[in-house]
């Protein structure tokens, strides 16, 4: 097994310097580590890679003249140029790399047919492939993501906690996730084999989201990363108990993967600037400040070939972090 990235190495990958970790803080959060003890053989029940295509990030608007000359308070970012074939290739590469790391770490990985041939799994309906989800991001931001499964797995399953949906449309997905985890638990109990569920969410813009800075304004940079808090691995032991390892520091790679441009129209900018100046004048005259701030649209265009390489690299680094010996015991 590859060695776990040190906390310092993981931090060097970050593209959000305003977010700092204490020296004794780990890049992952682990729940129930003792539950993995004795598990040497595993089956992979789910390995889902999500791709954010749109995000709307906002801060509280700045009032008066501060709003006129301050930073962006609302940013709408869209990714274009990523095809279904590109996302499938990234997912397949990430899955193959994860299996390779598991095997190198001393785990025996059971064929997918053994798991999905189990009576309970045979009755479990796959989610739509690909799966589109409106996701709730931190601090009131929101986004849209599309999830893919590896070609090697016959179904796209999720377990509770794999995503944070936004809106009524996610209710059905949550219900299906509850049924899926029940089926995976039954397989683990009946077979004596642990079941692994993995979900990675690939972000394309590396926004400094609300709360990551002091004076307001969203800074939007292009990079590729496996998102913190929305990416994790779950191990279901034959006992029915779980180990959950969650990425807490974005695993980012920088390179020529994406071209960023300001897609805001000149009319939009002029109207917002005028509204903010008017609000500032009203405040100065004692009529109260109108709170507007700036809204900007950003377009991110993926570079074919480079984008797939960068996303697969970020996923590989995330797998290396999650499978570190400090978090899962070495069965050998």
Tell me how far apart the alpha carbons of residues 22 and 14 are, in angstroms, rounded to a whole number. 14
pLDDT tens-digit profile of 15-37? 333 233 334 457 899 999 999 99
89 close to 149: Cβ distance less than 8 angstroms: no
Question: Exposed, middle or buried by CB within 10 Å (0-12, 13-18, 19+), for 105?
Answer: middle
Domain residue extents for the chain: 29-58+72-264+303-322
Measured CA to CA in angstroms, residue 170 lies from 53, 128, 193 at distances of 17, 12, 30
Rounded to the nearest 5 percent, the helix, strand and coil shares of the chain are: 30, 25, 40
Q: Where residue 272 falls among pLDDT bands split at 50, 70, 90?
A: very low
* pLDDT, position 325: 64
Which residue is listed with tokens 């400040």? 289
pLDDT tens-digit profile of 53-81? 887 765 544 333 333 334 556 677 788 89
pTM: 0.77
Quick one: what percent of the chain has pLDDT higher than 90?
48
């Amino acid at each position: 097994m590859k060695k776990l990235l040190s906390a310092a190495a993981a931090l060097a990958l970050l593209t959000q310097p305003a977010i700092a970790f204490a020296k004794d803080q780990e890049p992952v959060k682990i729940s129930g580590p003792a539950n993995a003890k004795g598990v040497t053989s595993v089956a992979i029940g789910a390995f889902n890679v999500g791709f954010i295509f749109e995000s709307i990030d906002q801060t509280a608007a700045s009032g008066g003249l501060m709003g006129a000359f301050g930073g962006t308070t609302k940013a709408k970012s869209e990714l274009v140029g990523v095809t279904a074939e590109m996302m499938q290739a990234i997912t397949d590469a990430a899955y193959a790399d994860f299996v390779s790391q598991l095997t190198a770490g001393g785990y025996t990985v059971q064929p997918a047919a053994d798991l999905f041939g189990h009576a309970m799994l045979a009755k479990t309906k796959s989610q739509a492939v690909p799966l589109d989800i409106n996701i709730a991001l931190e601090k009131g931001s929101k986004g849209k993501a599309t999830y893919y499964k590896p070609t090697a797995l016959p179904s796209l399953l999720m377990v509770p906690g794999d995503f944070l949906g936004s809106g009524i449309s996610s209710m059905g997905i949550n219900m299906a996730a509850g049924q899926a985890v029940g089926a995976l638990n039954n397989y683990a109990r009946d077979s004596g084999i642990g079941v692994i569920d993995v979900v990675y969410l690939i972000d394309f813009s590396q926004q400094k989201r609300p709360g990551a800075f002091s004076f307001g304004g969203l800074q939007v940079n292009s990079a590729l990363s496996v998102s913190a808090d929305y990416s994790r691995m779950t191990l279901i032991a034959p006992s029915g108990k779980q180990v959950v390892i969650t990425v807490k520091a974005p695993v980012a790679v920088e390179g020529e993967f994406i071209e960023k441009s300001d897609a805001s129209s000149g009319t939009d900018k002029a109207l917002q600037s005028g509204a903010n100046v008017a609000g500032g004048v009203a405040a100065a005259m004692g009529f109260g400040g109108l709170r507007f701030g700036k809204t900007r649209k950003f377009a991110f265009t993926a570079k074919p070939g480079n984008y797939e390489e960068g996303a697969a690299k970020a996923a590989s680094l995330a797998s290396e972090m999650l499978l570190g010996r400090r978090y899962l015991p070495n069965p050998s």
